[in-house]
Amino acid sequence: MTVFDDLVGQDQAVAVLSRAAAAAGEVVAGGRGAGMTHAWLFTGPPGAGREDAARAFAAALLCPDAGCGHCDQCHQVLIGSHPDLEAVRPEGLSYSVKQTRELILRAAGAPTQGRWRVILFEDADRATESAANALLKAIEEPPPRTVWLLCSPAPDDLMITIRSRCRLITLTTPGTEAVAQVLAARDGVPWETAAFAARAAQGHIGRARALALDDAARQRREAVLGIPRSLTGVGECVSAAERLVKTAEEEAAAATAALNDNETTELRRIYGEGSTGKGLNRGLVRGGAGALKELEDRQKSRATRIKRDSLDAALLELVSFYRDVLAVQFGAGVELANDDLRFDLDQLAKKSTPEETLRRIDAIMQCRERLAANVNPQIAVEAMMLALR
- pLDDT tier for residue 49 given thresholds of 50, 70 and 90: confident
- To the question of pTM greater than 0.85 for the whole model, the response is no
pLDDT reported for residue 388 = 93
Q: How far apart are CA 221 and CA 226, in angstroms?
A: 8
Report which of residues 175 and 25 the model is more confident about: 175
For residue 34, is pLDDT > 70? no
Q: Express each pLDDT in 241-256 by its tens digit.
A: 999 999 888 888 887 7
| 16-22: Cβ within 8 A, 24+ apart | 16/169, 17/53, 17/56, 17/57, 17/60, 17/169, 18/60, 18/66, 18/67, 20/57, 20/167, 21/57, 21/60, 21/61, 21/63, 21/66, 21/67, 22/66
Mean pLDDT of the chain: 87
pLDDT of residue 275: 53
Which residues neighbour 254 within 8 Å (Cβ) at sequence distance 6 or greater?
none
- Write the DSSP assignment of 174-229 as a string of letters: PPHHHHHHHHHHHH---HHHHHHHHHHHTT-HHHHHHHHH-HHHHHHHHHHHTHHH
pLDDT computed for residue 203 by the predictor: 83
SS3 83: coil
Of the candidates 150, 169, 153, 146, which has an alpha carbon nearest to the alpha carbon of residue 15?
169
Q: Is the pLDDT of residue 25 over 90?
A: no
pLDDT tens for each residue of 136-146: 988 988 888 89
Residue bearing the bigger pLDDT, 305 or 97:
97
Position 84 pLDDT exceeds 80: yes
pLDDT band at 363 (very low <50, low <70, confident <90, very high): very high
Q: How many CB atoms lie within 10 A of CB 78?
A: 18
pLDDT at 385 over 90: yes
One-character DSSP codes across 227-239: HHHH--SHHHHHH
Asked if pLDDT for residue 127 goes beyond 70, the answer is: yes
